[in-house]
Amino acid sequence: MTPKFKAGDRVVVDARDHVGHCRTPTYLRGAEGRVRKLIGIYKNPEELAYFKEAADYPLYDVVFDWKAVWGVDGPDEVAADIYEHWLKSA
């Protein structure tokens, strides 16, 4: 699987709802961030959690400015690991 994004790319976390096990925190859905690096290729936890045959997805280290997450200016950042199927190009 060829990763769609590379370090430095601007991405938006998809704001969709998800029923069941999911590793994309709701507070980051809809937020724009920057791909810091590709971590590697991992199995989709949404399927793995139910012992299904899980698809491989690239996993990225994504950094978010304070304002992108909380809507107010702040000096700090949040970083999270997000699977590619939750990311769109910004």
Q: Please state the closest distance from residue 66 (CB atom) to other proteins, in A.
A: 10
Residues 6+ positions from 24 with CB-CB distance below 8 Å: 13, 14, 18, 82, 83, 86
Q: CB nearer to other proteins: give 6 or 21.
A: 21
Q: Which is nearer to other proteins, 9 or 45 (CB)?
A: 45
Q: Which of residues 27-86 bind other proteins (CB under 8 A)?
A: 27-28, 39-40, 42, 45, 59, 61, 63, 69-70, 75-83
Q: Using an 8 Å Cβ cutoff, are 57 and 84 in contact?
A: yes
As a whole number of Å, the end-to-end CA separation of the chain is: 21
Q: What residues contact residue 28 under an 8 Å CB cut-off, 6+ apart?
A: 13, 64, 69, 78, 80, 82
Smaller CB separation from other proteins, 36 or 88: 36
Tokens for 29? 């859905």
Out of 11, 24, 34, 58, which residue is the one contacting other proteins (CB under 8 A)?
A: 24
Task: Enumerate binding residues for other proteins (CB under 8 A).
Answer: 23-25, 27-28, 39-40, 42, 45, 59, 61, 63, 69-70, 75-83
